[in-house]
Amino acid sequence: MVEELGRRKVNSGDLYVLRFYNRLDETRKGEIACANAGEARKWMEAFDHAKQQAEYELSRGASTRSKLNVENEINLEGRRPRVRRYAHGLKKLIRIGQGPEMLLRQSSSLDGRGRADAFFDAHGGDAVEAHEWKCVRTINGVRIFEDVASSESGKGIVVKAVGVVEASADTVFDVVLSLDRHQRYEWDTLTGDLELVDSENGHYDVVYGVFDPNYLTWWRSKRDFVFSRQWFRGQDGTYTILQFPAVHKKRPPKSGYRRTKINPSSWEIKNLNTSSSSKVAQCLVTQTLEINTKGWFKWKKDYSPKFEKTIPFALLSQVSGLKEYVGANPALTAESPTTVIHSKISDVLASNGELEVAEAPDEFYDAIAGDSSSEDDNSDDDSEKVNKNRKFKLKNVSWAIASLALQRMSAPDANKELNPDVTPINLDAFQFHGSMQRGGDEADTSCWTSPSGTGFMIRGKTYLKDSIKVKGGEPLLKLIAVDWFNVDNRVDNIALHPKCLVQSEAGKKVPFILVINLQVPAKPNYSMVLYYAADRPVNKNSLLGKFVEGTDMFRDSRFKLIPSIVEGYWMVKRAVGTKACLLGKAVTCKYLRQDNFLEIDVDIGSSSVARSVIGLVLGYVTSIVVDLAILIEAKEEAELPEYILGTVRLNRVRLDSAVRLEN
């Protein structure tokens, strides 16, 4: 296993650290330090690709003994020359200086059925969002958007600045996160003077800054501020940085300075797909923040020039400054553009061990984005050269097709996934009881309901040809109960616990139950257990059957979750996102197949990034309504269209409502 540990301060410099370890024996482990985020990403891609290649060779009957020879394992406990030899061998394999091109060339020979690049470059999300973005200003090539939905609520206004920067997301992320004063002076008008106060876990730090009042003329005293930064990289390569005003004991109020609160804000940095002939990398940079309504509306109507001397305006101007700074420093973009893997070794089918068709990355998000101007917001890649490339379709035609896809739905074929020769039983949810109550209306709290799948976008029947996604239909499995437990230590195999629904008389009569055990790291720990039931036995020849009876390797590569914060603080929405996630590749998942159930234990604490995000969510959990959809990713034409396996809506969950479960 390989895990990103984030940034670490080493000899007054920042390095990006990766940890690799044996899941079965975590004493066998090591770390790799990378100079920048891009290099760390290349290592991650290369390790993942090498793992897939080894799995493929093993599945085809290659010499297992040679692959698993203990003497070939990486050993970092020897003398320094020995460690250097191992490091040299890894560097030679992965070619860190140029990215994993050598492995890419090997992968292309394994599957010659690569297809044209997917056109869609939608940068929204995979679930319906409440935001309704409207462009209200354009400043120095950067568009300023207002969330119309938030302005109508009467609360603070959520606004964002959006611009295209001609550099890779890795490069821009490094610039935004850097505390180098000389560099920040060239693009950041507000937080140029920053110093590190504290850092932890590689994905979180606290910084202190000062601001000269000469730049905001009505300030009479010098200002200082403290804020925290939390960052992570998604499976699609998008970087997210969350910034909150903070208090820290190492930086108490300072004589001669007036302590100021920086508006909560977020950065989202996402690579844009450019034509294969283009040598210039591009990324879409979005900075979002919440501001006071009074000054905003006056400025928008052109009779409040004072707004241009406020902290919110200075924050919104950072994207423009960043864009100009990168454009004026070609050395920042001298590296070759980000390598996009078009031909990857796919996971191996559990049934026959054959290699599946390689596919292009998911470009269209799996939860429906706002139907307003958000589509325009995220289409800043205006390179007209794309039209000359046969691999790409005309943009207006593609968006027309995409809009039609929003009107189509993909309902599961129960007779295909479940045994058609067995008479369905009546699943009366009131026969099953969990520790969390079922919701009656929107006013209920600490409860659950099961929404339809229409709020999520999934792969349509023709996805392998045109990358079109469609709305999900009704879930295949029925959510019959939810348990909300607090425990001292993380609990696996919870379905075997005598108090579990699966062990009840009613549970034993259900043909099949899928148990999702979401293990939440906290003090104490929590388990959110979802029970999805089928009214008939699973068809062993279906995709669901292959998942239920397949290998852990196959399950890890297919088990997908789509989150959506329906109601809640906008910063939490930014942190959680709406992008589909292959859970088996993001966190450790364990599987238990027994009797009439399959249990999936999702260890959220196994990833430092996931721990960080869930920690933020728990801070606002009583004001959040979250929808989750689970599905099995379809990768072959015979498996399409995808369908929603199950959904759940969790409504303003109280931590103290969790029921104690003895281990």
Which of 332-341, 348-357, 594-603 has the weakest average pLDDT? 348-357
80-94 and 101-110 helices cross at what angle (nearest 10)? 50
Question: Which tokens sit at 120?
Answer: 């869609």
Residue 45 DSSP SS3: helix
Cis omega before residue 641 (within 30°)?
A: yes
Choose among 440, 596, 626, 437: nearest CA to 520: 626
CA distance 362 to 580: 9
Average pLDDT over residues 14-30: 76
The amino acid that residue 500 corresponds to is C
Choose among 579, 574, 613: nearest CA to 286: 574
Q: Give the alpha-carbon dihedral of 377, 378, 383, 384, to 10 degrees.
A: -70
Tell me, yes or no, whether 308 lies in a domain: no
Instruction: Determine contact, residues 539/420, Cβ cutoff 8 Å.
Output: yes
Percent of the chain with pLDDT over 90: 47
The helix (H) or strand (E) run that includes residue 109 is helix 101-110
Cis omega before residue 524 (within 30°)?
A: yes
- The pLDDT assigned to 306 comes to 67
CA distance 12 to 284: 30
The last residue of a domain, from among 110, 141, 156? 110
Q: What are phi and psi of 388, to 5 degrees?
A: -90, -10
* Burial class of residue 33 (count of CB atoms within 10 Å of its CB; 0-12, 13-18, 19+): middle
Tell me, yes or no, whether 599 lies in a domain: yes
Tell me, yes or no, whether 300 lies in a domain: no
Q: Reading across the β-sheet that carries 525-534, which strands appear in turn?
A: 588-594, 597-603, 512-520, 525-534, 478-487, 659-660
- The pLDDT assigned to 189 comes to 83
Mean pLDDT of all residues belonging to the chain: 78
Average pLDDT over residues 223-241: 92
Question: Which tokens sit at 144?
Answer: 């300023």
Average pLDDT over residues 444-449: 95
Average pLDDT over residues 161-187: 94
How many of the other CB atoms lie within 10 Å of CB of 487? Answer: 18
Tell me, yes or no, whether 626 lies in a domain: yes
- For residues 471-485, one letter each, b for 16 or more C-beta atoms within 10 angstroms of the residue's C-beta and e for the rest, the string is bbbbbbbbbbbbbbb
50-54, 117-121, 203-207, 338-342 — most confident range: 203-207
Greater pLDDT, 395 or 247: 247
- The pLDDT assigned to 131 comes to 74
Whole-number CA gyration radius for the chain: 25
CA distance 330 to 87: 32
Tell me, yes or no, whether 464 lies in a domain: yes
Which of 54-68, 125-139, 588-602, 630-644 has the weakest average pLDDT? 54-68
Tell me, yes or no, whether 133 lies in a domain: no
- The pLDDT assigned to 645 comes to 97
612: CB partners within 8 A, 6+ apart: 201, 203, 204, 230, 232
Average pLDDT over residues 186-193: 86
* Burial class of residue 252 (count of CB atoms within 10 Å of its CB; 0-12, 13-18, 19+): exposed
- The pLDDT assigned to 614 comes to 94
The amino acid that residue 545 corresponds to is G
Distances (CA, A) of 358 to 48, 99, 114, 316, 410: 15, 20, 6, 41, 23
Average pLDDT over residues 495-522: 96
- The pLDDT assigned to 354 comes to 39
- The pLDDT assigned to 537 comes to 96
CA distance 440 to 557: 36
Domain count, the chain: 2
Tell me, yes or no, whether 378 lies in a domain: no
Instruction: Determine contact, residues 299/120, Cβ cutoff 8 Å.
Output: no
- The pLDDT assigned to 215 comes to 62
CA dihedral (240, 381, 36, 182) positive or negative: negative
178: CB partners within 8 A, 6+ apart: 14, 184
Confidence check: pLDDT of 491 > 90:
yes
- The pLDDT assigned to 356 comes to 39
Instruction: Determine contact, residues 333/322, Cβ cutoff 8 Å.
Output: no
Q: What pTM value is reported for the model?
A: 0.74
Residue 576 DSSP SS3: helix
pLDDT digits (tens, 9 = 90+) for 453-472: 999 999 999 989 888 889 99
Q: What is the largest CA-CA distance in the chain?
A: 81
Confidence check: pLDDT of 156 > 50:
yes
382: CB partners within 8 A, 6+ apart: 164
Residue 237 DSSP SS3: coil
Which of 268-282, 499-513, 565-579 has the weakest average pLDDT? 268-282
The last residue of a domain, from among 84, 110, 136? 110
The last residue of a domain, from among 66, 94, 110? 110
Confidence check: pLDDT of 397 > 50:
no
What residue numbers bound the domain in which 521 lies? 409-658
Distances (CA, A) of 190 to 212, 225, 254, 262, 324: 9, 11, 19, 10, 16
The amino acid that residue 464 corresponds to is L
Instruction: Determine contact, residues 162/342, Cβ cutoff 8 Å.
Output: no
- The pLDDT assigned to 73 comes to 54
Q: What are phi and psi of 255, to 5 degrees?
A: -60, 135
Which of 81-85, 105-109, 216-220, 271-275 has the weakest average pLDDT? 105-109
Instruction: Determine contact, residues 270/284, Cβ cutoff 8 Å.
Output: yes
Average pLDDT over residues 602-611: 92
User: Which three-class secondary structure string do you get for 488-545?
Assistant: CCCCCCHHHCCCCHHHCHHHHCCCEEEEEEEEECCCCEEEEEEEEEECCCECCCCHHH
Q: Give the alpha-carbon dihedral of 232, 233, 235, 236, to 10 degrees.
A: 140
Q: What is the DSSP letter of 221?
A: S
Tell me, yes or no, whether 239 lies in a domain: no
